[in-house]
Structure 1
Amino acid sequence: MNDPIIQLTGLNKHYGPIKAVDALDLTIQRGEIFGLLGPNGAGKTTTILMMLGLTDPTSGTAIVCGYNATSSPMRVKRKVGYMPDSVGFYDNMTALENLIYIGRLNGLPENELKNRCAEVLEIVGLTADRHKKTVAFSRGMKQRLGLADVLIKDPEVIILDEPTLGIDPTGVRDFLELIKHLSRQRGLTVLLSSHHLHHVQQVCDCVGIFVKGKLIAQGNIGSLSSQLFDADGHVTSIKLEQPIPEPWTLEAELRALDAINKISICGNELELTSDRDMTAVLVRFLVEKGYDVTGVHQKNYGLDDIYQQYFESNNTRKYTL
């Protein structure tokens, strides 16, 4: 995939001496779900506002859907749907009435308006609640209506700023599944900004870790894990039926294998660390030595491990995959 729909180059935003966004280079491919991950105050929302042409960068360029967001903000807005972290509606109006109003603001023809509203309400699962006033909506329902609001103009890109805040776990799961479905079925590009690591990991193809205005890492979880953990990238735990009679002998034999870096043996359990996946080799080796293997587990590093590694090592190198 090499079809960038968002391209940020040397993007800076300064408020006096404060660098809210610092020399940001970022490319997002068409049809990708990209997670912009970082703590509150990292500069995620400021970046989004520059992408939408709602605030001008101090320097650098933001090209979105082929248009410069600073010089052609209205063209970008026609192509991009944006849902902020706090979605507002007219409480005295129903979900359908709110959508019709938004559709008119977006210039949808009157003869298409009601059908389009009905379509997006069906997509987000609010057809049964279309005549309910939004004052009675839960946070999760308002987020779904916010997504319908974003989809009403049939955008190429949707930007979601902290979309899962305040939603219960079931609502979060359903909302993220809906986002994934929309991206896969309709080819939508999604930029999801969040500080919830688990939510980002569930749905995103690629992530960017954003700290103090800087993008310090970018890539998919597997490639980030490989670069960060290097020799500790693969940890395999193996359980045997019986305790190992001579663990020092087995350890010496295992160390002779290529790529093994660390070995821990306790009773009938082994934990081995290697710089590539050695699980199949290790199991075969133990079986050939006459050991009965009863369990195998390979550790997979997730976003939480990656995120913590960046901060614990105080590593501000930029990784781009």
Structure 2
Amino acid sequence: MDTPIISIKGLRKVYHNHIAVNHLDLDIHKGEIFGLLGPNGAGKSTTILMILGLTEPASGSVLVDGINPQTHPVDVKKLVGYLPDNIGFYEQRTGLDNLVLVAELNGYSYNEALGKAKDLITTVGLKEVGNKKVSTYSRGMKQRLGLADTLIKNPKIIILDEPTLGLDPTGVKEFLALIQKLSKKENLTVLLSSHHLHQVQEVCNRVGIFVKGNLIAHGKVQDLAHQLFRNNGVTTLLDTGLNDTDEINAIKSRLLNIDGIEHTDMNGKQIAIHHSFSSNTPLIKALSDQEVPIRQILQKGYDLDDIYSYYFEENRL
């Protein structure tokens, strides 16, 4: 496997006897979108600050493309674009002007900066408003401008801290699609910090779950689900199309007579069938033999919501 572009070993950070990050070990590889998932105060932002060299660890190490951010913070900042959860712009200047200024601060000549700013304005979908003052921008437009801001220096890595905060559902969908597109096109490594489970699952190749400063699980969502729930058997959701409670309860009782069905419960108006069949095919045959009405049948998969709930059950904290 390739050398990780971000390598974290034994990282620890303490604030006034409070352990913010506790012996963190994590590798992130070039081109992947990695999600840092957890509630406020879990250690996500502190980890990001140590990656950027903006705060010192109590112990452990970080390497960003082989560079130590504690000893060479400027070199790391040349490689990393950072979008905080509340980015600031010169509101009375245009979006294009803001980007030109940032490009010049990163060493580009004015003409180079202008050309790059125009390209990025188009890339993030702000071409029609690039010459308007930022004060007229919506939250979603400002986030897009912030993304352009992180890309202005051609970073290898971009770090996004709660980038969809305050966006409406359409804005969230468009922003996440843009991140995926850019990561794939530019082979960008993206570190996405969020507490929105479904957004993280939608775009991230792998996730890391933080609880009270500890990284308690990390990997692909499907792999984590398999590790946690492989002994749970298979659950299939059955919609009979019936509304009468007595009829549905009668069907639930009949289902228990089928070999391989362990137990049943309700999932809204659907019957959740917990069974040992490897697929739905033999289950459907058994239901047909029992003359159970089937309007819709779907095998339930475990997702990030199930994984997150598992780790945040009271007896696991």
Contact 1:160 1:193 in 2 (8 A): yes
TM-score by length of 2: 0.88
From the superposition, tell whether residues 26 and 314 of structure 1 become closer, same or farther in structure 2 (CA, over 3 Å).
farther
**Structure 1 residue 238, shift from structure 2 partner:** 3.2
Q: Which moves more between the two structures, 166-175 or 235-244?
A: 235-244
**Structure 1 residue 194, shift from structure 2 partner:** 0.8
Residue 117 (str. 1) matches residue 117 (str. 2): yes
Contact 1:11 1:24 in 2 (8 A): yes
Match of 1:67, SS state, is coil
Q: Distance between the aligned counterparts of 2:276 and 2:8, measured in 1? A: 34
From the superposition, tell whether residues 274 and 221 of structure 1 become closer, same or farther in structure 2 (CA, over 3 Å).
farther
2:229 aligns with: 229
Match of 1:280, SS state, is helix
Residue 206 (str. 1) matches residue 206 (str. 2): yes
2:195 aligns with: 195
Contact 1:87 1:146 in 2 (8 A): yes
Name the aligned partner's letter for residue 296 of structure 1. I
Q: Which moves more between the two structures, 8-17 or 230-239?
A: 230-239
- Superposition RMSD in Å: 2.7
Contact 2:8 2:61 in 1 (8 A): yes
1:319 aligns with: none
Q: Distance between the aligned counterparts of 1:251 and 1:78, measured in 2? A: 63
Q: Distance between the aligned counterparts of 1:10 and 1:241, measured in 2? A: 54
1:304 aligns with: 305
Name the aligned partner's letter for residue 49 of structure 1. L
Match of 2:104, SS state, is helix
1:251 aligns with: 256
Q: Distance between the aligned counterparts of 1:303 and 1:241, measured in 2? A: 29
Q: Which moves more between the two structures, 46-55 or 276-285?
A: 276-285
Match of 1:54, SS state, is coil
1:164 aligns with: 164
Match of 1:68, SS state, is coil
**Structure 1 residue 67, shift from structure 2 partner:** 1.3
Deviations along 1:243-277, one digit per CA (max 9) or x if unpaired, are 7999777634423xxxx643469xxx853224785
Name the aligned partner's letter for residue 170 of structure 2. T
Contact 2:252 2:271 in 1 (8 A): no
Q: Distance between the aligned counterparts of 1:107 and 1:49, measured in 2? A: 24
From the superposition, tell whether residues 281 and 183 of structure 1 become closer, same or farther in structure 2 (CA, over 3 Å).
farther
Q: Which aligned pairs between 1:27-46 and structure 2 lie closer than 5 A?
A: 27-46=27-46
Match of 2:54, SS state, is coil
Match of 2:302, SS state, is coil
**Structure 1 residue 208, shift from structure 2 partner:** 0.9
Contact 2:256 2:263 in 1 (8 A): no
Deviations along 1:211-242, one digit per CA (max 9) or x if unpaired, are 11111111122122222233336311235699
Q: Which moves more between the two structures, 30-39 or 106-115?
A: 106-115
Contact 2:21 2:47 in 1 (8 A): yes
Q: Distance between the aligned counterparts of 1:43 and 1:76, measured in 2? A: 21
Contact 1:232 1:274 in 2 (8 A): no
Matched residues, number: 311
Name the aligned partner's letter for residue 251 of structure 1. L
2:8 aligns with: 8
Of all paired residues, the percent bearing the same amino acid is: 50
Runs of 4+ in 1 over 6 A off after TM superposition: 241-249, 288-292
**Structure 1 residue 195, shift from structure 2 partner:** 1.2
Q: Which aligned pairs between 1:1-321 and structure 2 lie closer than 5 A?
A: 2-232=2-232, 234-239=234-239, 251-255=256-260, 261-263=262-264, 271-274=272-275, 277-287=278-288, 293-312=294-313, 314-315=315-316
Name the aligned partner's letter for residue 184 of structure 1. K
Contact 1:231 1:261 in 2 (8 A): no
Match of 1:228, SS state, is helix
**Structure 1 residue 210, shift from structure 2 partner:** 0.7
Contact 2:258 2:286 in 1 (8 A): no
Q: Distance between the aligned counterparts of 1:108 and 1:288, measured in 2? A: 74
